[in-house]
Amino acid sequence: MAKAKDTIFFCKECGFESAKWAGQCPACHEWNTFVEAPSQKSVKAAPGRAHASLRLTEDKKPVAMSEIEATVSVRTETGMKEFDRVLGGGIIKGSLVLVGGDPGIGKSTLLTQLCKNLSDAGHKVLYITGEESLSQIKLRADRIGTFNGNMKLLAETDLEIVESAIRSEMPEVAIIDSIQTMFSADTTGAPGSVGQVRECTNILMQLAKGIGVSIFVVGHVTKEGVVAGPRILEHMVDTVLYFEGDKHASYRVLRGVKNRFGSTNEVGIFEMRSEGLKEVANPSAFMLSGRPENASGSIVSCSIEGTRPILVEIQALVARSGLGNPRRSSTGIDYNRMNLLIAVLEKRLGLHFSECDAYLNVVGGIRINETALDLAVVIALASGYMDFAVDAGTIAIGEVGLSGEVRSVNLMEARIQEAKKLGFTRCIVPKGAMQALKNIDGIALEGVDNVKEAINKVRK
């Protein structure tokens, strides 16, 4: 009789399992995502399985939708308004939150401050670490402030002991730092392996929902910028937060990419200081601080992050190239989008970017994925190419099409109101949006049909 296989192949992206390795996942069609993992232990069928319906209790039976009463979940405020904004208003009881980020970016510092605020407000907190000793956490905590007895620490990697500690202490919030260091004795494989990460997260999820404790799980990210381990990890948790930024700069961005209890793509801005992280109450002013005057290749636009409008400065540097293939570099904006807009300028305005190096940057380190910045990018590139400065009080908002036309984007009024609040006096917008914006006072609105018209307006 053939021996059963002890391992299976597992897709890191979607969780598809296969008995043999494949170059392409048949479920999500991603390439080279299969990894070998231990197979789950088989569970013997319980006696009388055919009569499982007889064992249904009243709380397990199917219920009609009309009989269910919807209740509003009570949120616990963290004491950090930026953190609460990203979570959707605060911590939901029994939620499982994944916090990802590069090593050394400040995840542990952020969660230590979270613990301090909650413990100061009278909430019981348990911080469980598998990476540091208790004395190392104490040194970081002393830098942040004084802690009271509501916060307790545990240095442990065995998940069974961790689960026992949570059940005995019954904290309102528990921190697991990090999920890659935890291991379950019931699952084969080293800590951090696909099987261990999946099983440990599943146990923590059942624990959070079962006893109503809110659990924050720290996860390291790969070089591609996603949480290390199987992609199914992000599907299991209620909320996924990414802590982003340059380790060598002072700013940090907390971004929500999944939230079952609030809107996604909300961002919170923090500044790293010697005493810990400080919230940035006005991100627009923070992003525009130190902006140069009368410099070519610079203009401001407005991006919507979740429900918040944030003003950002777009900088472009265009210089004559001595290479056969000119250099292209983009930071904060999609590289392919930049190349597309350069092609529009070459075709519609006759600007010879094929002879020049082009560098594009969103100042402040934030990454923008929406097309509302297209018009500002085009103006910045043309300004850098023609070497003219855009008036410091001008802002540009709009999407650029392949024929050079300027199209309207959503939430135009909110973007313009944010610019008005920061003291901007002129806004270049798509002409098609002018009718809906006629009631806005205090800022001059100028509508344009195409990129050529927009560039002619800012050169005056």
Q: What pLDDT sits at residue 55? A: 55
Give dist(CA 7, CA 288) in Å, integer: 54
Phi and psi of 13, rounded to 5°?
-85, -45
**Which DSSP helix (H) or strand (E) runs through 17?**
strand 17-18
Measured distance CA(128)–CA(176) in Å, rounded? 5
CA distance to 299, 337, 373, 408, per residue, from 399 (Å): 15, 11, 7, 6
pLDDT of residue 225: 57
pLDDT given for residue 1 in this prediction = 42
pLDDT at residue number 369? 86
For residue 362, the tally of other CB atoms under 10 A from its CB is: 22
pLDDT at 245: 79
Local structure of residue 181 (DSSP, 8 states): G
- 75-281: CATH topology is Rossmann fold (3.40.50)
φ/ψ of 172, rounded to 5, equals: -80, -35
pTM over 0.85: no
| pLDDT score at 338 | 96
Extents of the domains making up the chain: 8-37, 75-281, 286-459
Q: What is the pLDDT of residue 224?
A: 59
CA angle 400, 406, 410 (to 5 degrees): 85
Top-tier CATH class for 286-459? alpha beta
Q: CA-CA distance, 311 to 86, in Å (whole number)?
A: 18
Radius of gyration of the chain (CA): 26
User: pLDDT (tens digit, 0 to 9) for every residue of the chain, 460 residues total?
Assistant: 444 456 778 777 666 778 888 888 887 788 888 877 766 544 344 444 444 445 555 556 788 888 887 776 788 999 999 999 999 889 999 999 999 888 888 899 999 999 999 999 999 999 999 988 899 999 888 888 889 989 999 999 999 999 999 999 999 999 999 898 999 888 877 787 777 888 899 999 999 999 999 999 998 776 655 665 556 788 889 999 999 877 777 788 898 989 998 888 788 889 888 888 999 888 888 888 888 888 999 999 999 987 889 999 999 999 998 888 999 999 989 999 999 999 999 999 999 999 999 999 998 778 888 999 999 999 999 999 999 999 999 999 999 999 999 999 999 999 999 999 999 999 999 999 988 887 788 899 999 999 999 999 998 6
Would you give the distance in Å from CA 447 to the centre of its chain? 33
